């Protein structure tokens, strides 16, 4: 028995009070859907977990109507202080049921329990606490006096951080005074449905949050529903584009958190121990199912061999296996479809001439698994250097000068995140300035916090989640009420068109309504 | 002694700090509001629009890299030069825009004030729209707004309702420049002459070539090429109200451009417009044990 071998230490599933069937959570209660139900499975062994209702367009109508009613009759009339108290209750209940939520998440998603337990669920609670405090302080959010809620928010989230993405969406929406219809991903509905039970325990007024399950067509019906005022989507750039297209001209306020192909830049003066851990965390955290993953390692040429050797050593110590086992470092790939995509792109990597190395780990007989993999000799034109793999696959490129590193880092249509490893402060700040990325981690990677805005440049989407900026994505600027007199220059001399003119105030409101964040 | 025979000005495009004719060789007639011939303006083509985007991209990192203080100074300088050529603009707005002398004076004054108002924001917007973040861990964490990149804009078009074509144009250009974006703007089709005169102001002020590029011609013809251009980061449809602007927004979705929807009339100066053309960048760094 080597030092790497441990006795199994799985979390018990008995803490879960799983139902055989889960309905749609609409207007405060679970109810049957009118689409064909589907089964959610554990990606670790392909065993069925529960049958999940499928919302068709009629169910989407019902859910949006419930959210609208709750907005008109309850939530928009409630004081910010009371909205905040509900969010505070939710945060506490998440903490109290954190173990159950973590088990549900690892079971349904395949991520290691140590991540769901120590990262996902604590951040979910933190997210609700953070935004709870904003609910009665909207006047101080930098959006002018009395910014207003938008109305009904349609939210569609991905499968990589099911509960955390739910928190990123619901917490700021409710704090700002909106009501919500949320659709979790088809392969990971479970934790959202446990969360719906938490909403019942919190006695959140019916209809304020509605959770409907289904596939892409359900999501499409939701975001394109005419009575929706706000759309928040996290997922693929292809779907983000489709949403941007279909909502064009509707006046809906849109936030899109899409794909990424982050450069993780390692200079030769980097603190090497931390950098190796950071590279591993950057791409192998959550099996690489992370939109901001550090999937392109840009390493200074003179330390390339050392970095690769040490990475291989480190990866050889990672334990892959049962997501519910507390010793597991690498869990299961979330779905068969995703596994096939990772395999296909990895094969393309080999065909295009890159050198493949995979950690030597035992692949379980059942379920969806992919060993941590490094490609060296990658060129900027290779597909594995350009396309998001969304799996535990690192593409390594080299550079000689900071200018080359910056040029290569920015050579992508994406712009979500980036990493810099160096001991030289001036270099870190200089490089950070020039990277076209919404989040830059210097001498760290994959850190998240409710106070910290997150979101991308370019084709990684628009708008920010987290922090004051994330709150603004769910509010209409209060400046439109204060305009024009207080903010226009020399108002007495400004041109005031009299014919065919709508009030200037209305024009500005239209402008601010279109603003992403 | 015979009366002085005037030399009329040839109105051209403004791309990369130079004044080229349209590569297509096309022009169109610009008339007064009563229909009298004023000038032949250049009618920009798809190629001109693309050249303008190349010029804007080339100028972007330099403009964004200038200090905020410097960008503010450059914008103030535009106001100064506009003030100096006040009489010319009043005259042009009267003849080309067809507005009264008093209205023309108000418009030029307001345009100058818009430059001054936005100039002052250059070294302040960051303090108002960015922030430090109290994350729960030993990390330095700061969010700052940075320029989005290259912006394509349709200036307000309906000069008959909104003035002579100067204030609308300035109200679209100035907020884009504050944070360090560069711009390709399609001027009002019916009143393009003040736009080219404004280009002369920009060219002789301290605005680096390529930071502002002004096209004259048909917005309906040029805008689709700008909306679908992969190297344009944001699309300002302020003046597109009378066009098929939803199609433009759909075209912009392919590269996920940020899109500012049309407005009726001349945009009121606002910090929202500055912020719209920024991207919030959040930088993390560990705090060591000391």
Give me the mean pLDDT over the A9-37 stretch: 96
Domain that holds residue B211: 41-286
Same domain, A301 and A182: no
| Chain A residues 457-486 with a CB less than 8 Å from chain B | 457-459, 461-462, 464, 467-469, 477, 479, 483-484
Same domain, A213 and A357: no
What's the confidence (pLDDT) of residue A491?
32
H or E stretch at B221: helix B219-228
Long-range contacts formed by A11-19: CB under 8 A, 24+ apart: A11/A99, A11/A102, A11/A103, A11/A106, A11/A113, A11/A324, A11/A325, A11/A326, A12/A103, A13/A103, A13/A107, A13/A324, A15/A99, A15/A100, A15/A103, A16/A100, A16/A103, A16/A104, A16/A107, A17/A100, A18/A49, A18/A50, A19/A50
Q: pLDDT of A29-47, one tens digit each? A: 999 999 999 999 999 999 9
Residue A328 placed within a domain: yes
Residue B7 placed within a domain: no
CA B248 to chain A, closest CA, distance in angstroms equals 9
Chain B interface disruption, residue of A449, A466, A509, most B CBs within 10 A: A449
Residue A517 placed within a domain: no
What's the confidence (pLDDT) of residue B234?
98
Q: Roughly what angle, to the nearest 10 degrees, separates helices A98-109 and A190-201? A: 160
pLDDT confidence band for B98 (50 / 70 / 90): confident
Q: pLDDT of A282-333, one tens digit each? A: 999 999 999 999 999 999 999 999 999 999 999 999 999 999 999 999 999 9
Considering only the beta carbons, identify the residue of B109, B134, B265 that sits closest to A502: B265
Strands (E), A289-354: 296-300
Last residue of a domain, one of A430, A451, A472: A451
Same domain, A287 and A420: yes
Same domain, A164 and A291: no
Same domain, A267 and A253: no
Give me the mean pLDDT over the A70-87 stretch: 98
Last residue of a domain, one of A232, A257, A282: A257
Residue A9 placed within a domain: no
- Nearest Cα to Cα of residue A104 among A183, A195, A184: A195
Give me the mean pLDDT over the A345-370 stretch: 96
SS3 track for A182-201: EECCCCCCHHHHHHHHHHHH
Contacts of A467 in chain B (CB under 8 A): 131, 133, 143, 282
Distances (CA, A) of A273 to A277, A392, A459: 6, 20, 33
Tell me how many domains chain B contains.
1
Are A382 and A347 contacting, i.e. CB atoms less than 8 angstroms apart?
Answer: no
Give the three-class secondary structure for B164: coil
ipTM of predicted assembly, 2 dp = 0.94
What's the confidence (pLDDT) of residue A123?
98
Give me the mean pLDDT over the A427-456 stretch: 98
Same domain, A249 and A341: no
What's the confidence (pLDDT) of residue A494?
35
Give me the mean pLDDT over the A249-261 stretch: 96
pTM of the model: 0.93
Contacts of A453 in chain B (CB under 8 A): 133, 143, 280, 282
- Whether the per-residue pLDDT at A130 is higher than 90: the answer is yes
Say whether A248 and B273 touch across the interface (CB within 8 A). Answer: no
Omega of the bond prior to A484 within 30 degrees of 0, cis? yes
CA B181 to chain A, closest CA, distance in angstroms equals 13
What's the confidence (pLDDT) of residue B192?
93
Same domain, A34 and A107: yes
Same domain, A167 and A189: yes
Tell me how many domains chain A contains.
2
Last residue of a domain, one of A207, A229, A257: A257
Q: pLDDT of B247-284, one tens digit each? A: 999 999 999 999 999 998 899 999 999 999 999 999 99
Contacts of B279 in chain A (CB under 8 A): 415, 436, 438, 457
Return phi, psi of residue A477, to 5°: -55, 135
Percent of chain A at pLDDT > 90 equals 89
Same domain, A34 and A173: yes
Give me the mean pLDDT over the A50-79 stretch: 98
Q: How many CB atoms lie within 10 A of CB B280?
A: 27
Distances (CA, A) of B81 to A504, B76, B108: 28, 9, 12
For residue B220, give the CATH number of its domain. 3.40.605.10
Residue A478 placed within a domain: no
Mean pLDDT of chain B: 95
Q: pLDDT of A463-500, one tens digit each? A: 999 999 999 999 998 775 444 333 333 333 333 333 33
Same domain, A121 and A88: yes
- Nearest Cα to Cα of residue B155 among B127, B196, B119, B104: B196
Say whether B109 and A237 touch across the interface (CB within 8 A). Answer: no
Residue A485 placed within a domain: no
Same domain, A94 and A118: yes
> Which tokens sit at B164?
């002579």
What's the confidence (pLDDT) of residue A4?
64
For residue A44, give the CATH number of its domain. 3.40.605.10
Contacts of A292 in chain B (CB under 8 A): none
Does the beta carbon of A495 lie under 8 angstroms from any beta carbon of chain B? yes
Give me the mean pLDDT over the B41-46 stretch: 98
Say whether B253 and A464 touch across the interface (CB within 8 A). Answer: no
What's the confidence (pLDDT) of residue A484?
39
Domain that holds residue A225: 21-257
What's the confidence (pLDDT) of residue A488?
37
- Whether the per-residue pLDDT at B161 is higher than 80: the answer is no
Say whether A452 and B284 touch across the interface (CB within 8 A). Answer: yes
Return phi, psi of residue A509, to 5°: -60, -40
Q: Which residues of A are catalytically annotated?
A: 257, 291
Residue A181 placed within a domain: yes
Are A234 and A77 contacting, i.e. CB atoms less than 8 angstroms apart?
Answer: no
Residue A483 placed within a domain: no
Q: How many CB atoms lie within 10 A of CB B124?
A: 14
A-B Cβ pairs (cutoff 8 Å, strict): 196
| Chain B residues 1-60 with a CB less than 8 Å from chain A | none
For residue A422, give the CATH number of its domain. 3.40.309.10
Contacts of B109 in chain A (CB under 8 A): 490, 493
- Whether the per-residue pLDDT at A345 is higher than 50: the answer is yes
Same domain, A306 and A442: yes
CA B256 to chain A, closest CA, distance in angstroms equals 5
- Nearest Cα to Cα of residue B170 among B98, B108, B261, B241: B108
Say whether B133 and A452 touch across the interface (CB within 8 A). Answer: yes
Residue A506 placed within a domain: no
Percent of chain B at pLDDT > 90 equals 87
């Amino acid at each position: 028995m080597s030092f790497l071998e441990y006795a199994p230490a799985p979390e018990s599933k008995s803490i879960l009070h799983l139902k055989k069937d889960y309905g749609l959570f609409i207007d405060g209660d679970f109810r049957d859907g009118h689409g064909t139900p589907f089964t959610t499975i554990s990606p670790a062994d392909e065993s069925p977990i529960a049958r999940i209702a499928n919302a068709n367009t009629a169910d989407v109508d019902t859910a949006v109507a419930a959210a609208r009613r709750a907005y008109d009759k309850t939530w928009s009339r409630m004081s910010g202080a009371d909205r905040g108290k509900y969010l505070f209750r939710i945060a506490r209940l998440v903490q109290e049921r954190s173990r159950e939520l973590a088990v549900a998440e690892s079971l349904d998603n395949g991520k290691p329990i140590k991540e769901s337990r120590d990262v996902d669920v604590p951040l979910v609670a933190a997210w609700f606490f953070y935004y709870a405090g904003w609910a009665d302080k909207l006047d101080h959010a930098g959006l002018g006096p009395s910014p207003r809620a938008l109305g009904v928010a349609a939210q569609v989230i991905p499968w990589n951080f099911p509960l955390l993405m739910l928190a990123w969406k619901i917490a700021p929406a409710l704090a700002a005074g909106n009501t919500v219809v949320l659709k979790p991903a088809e392969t990971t509905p479970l934790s959202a449905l446990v969360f719906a039970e938490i909403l019942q325990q919190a006695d959140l007024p019916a209809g304020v949050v509605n959770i409907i399950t289904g596939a892409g067509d359900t999501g499409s019906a939701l975001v394109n529903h005419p009575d929706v005022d706000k759309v928040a989507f996290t997922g693929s750039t292809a779907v983000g584009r489709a949403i941007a297209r279909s909502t064009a001209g509707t006046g809906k306020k849109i936030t899109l958190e899409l794909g990424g192909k982050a450069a993780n830049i390692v200079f030769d003066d980097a603190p090497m121990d931390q950098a190796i851990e950071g590279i591993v965390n950057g791409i192998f955290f959550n099996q690489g199912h992370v939109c901001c993953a550090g999937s392109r390692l840009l390493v200074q040429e003179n330390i390339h061999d050392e970095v690769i050797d040490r990475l291989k050593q480190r990866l050889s110590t990672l334990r892959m296996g049962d997501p519910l086992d507390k010793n597991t470092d690498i869990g299961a790939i979330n779905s068969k479809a995703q596994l096939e995509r990772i395999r296909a792109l990895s094969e393309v990597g080999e065909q295009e001439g890159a050198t493949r190395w995979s950690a030597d780990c035992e692949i379980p007989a059942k379920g969806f698994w992919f060993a941590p993999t490094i490609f060296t000799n990658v060129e900027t034109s290779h597909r594995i250097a350009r396309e998001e793999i969304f799996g535990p696959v690192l593409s390594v490129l080299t550079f000689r000068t900071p200018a080359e590193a910056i040029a290569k880092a920015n050579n992508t249509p994406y712009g979500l995140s980036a990493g810099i490893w160096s001991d030289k402060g001036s270099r870190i700040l200089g490089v950070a300035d020039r990277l076209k990325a919404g989040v830059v981690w210097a001498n760290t990677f994959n850190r998240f916090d409710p106070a910290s805005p997150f979101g991308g440049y370019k084709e990684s989407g628009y708008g920010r989640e987290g922090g004051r900026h994330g709150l603004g994505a769910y509010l209409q600027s209060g400046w439109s009420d204060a305009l024009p007199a207080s903010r226009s220059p020399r108002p007495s001399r400004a041109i005031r068109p009299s014919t065919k003119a709508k009030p200037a105030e209305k024009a500005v409101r239209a402008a601010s309504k279109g603003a992403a964040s | 002694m015979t009366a002085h025979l005037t030399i009329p000005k040839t109105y051209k495009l403004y791309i990369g700090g130079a004044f080229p004719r349209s590569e297509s060789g096309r022009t169109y007639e610009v008339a007064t509001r009563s229909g009298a011939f004023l000038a032949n303006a250049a009618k920009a083509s798809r190629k001109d629009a693309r050249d303008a985007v190349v010029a804007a991209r080339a100028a972007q990192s330099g403009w964004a890299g200038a200090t905020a203080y410097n960008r503010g100074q450059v914008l103030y300088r535009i106001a100064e030069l506009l003030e100096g050529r006040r009489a010319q603009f009043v005259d042009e707005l009267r003849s080309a825009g067809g507005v009264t002398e008093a209205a023309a004076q108000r418009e030029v004054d307001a345009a100058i004030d818009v430059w001054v108002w936005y100039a002052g924001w250059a070294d302040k917007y960051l303090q108002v729209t960015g922030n430090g973040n109290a994350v729960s861990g030993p990390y330095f964490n700061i969010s700052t707004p940075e320029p989005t990149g290259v912006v394509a804009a349709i200036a307000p078009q309906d000069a008959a309702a909104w003035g002579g074509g100067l204030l609308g144009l300035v109200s679209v250009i100035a907020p884009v420049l504050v944070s360090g974006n560069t711009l390709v703007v399609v001027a009002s089709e019916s009143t393009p002459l003040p736009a080219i005169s404004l280009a002369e102001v920009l060219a002789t002020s301290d605005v680096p070539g390529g930071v502002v590029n002004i096209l004259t011609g048909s917005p309906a013809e040029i805008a689709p090429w700008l909306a679908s251009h992969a190297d344009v980061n944001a699309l300002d449809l302020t003046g597109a109200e009378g066009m098929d602007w939803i199609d433009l927004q759909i075209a912009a979705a392919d590269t996920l451009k940020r899109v500012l929807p049309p407005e009726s009339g001349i945009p009121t100066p606002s910090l929202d417009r500055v912020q719209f053309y920024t991207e919030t960048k959040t930088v993390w760094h560990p705090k060591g044990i000391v």
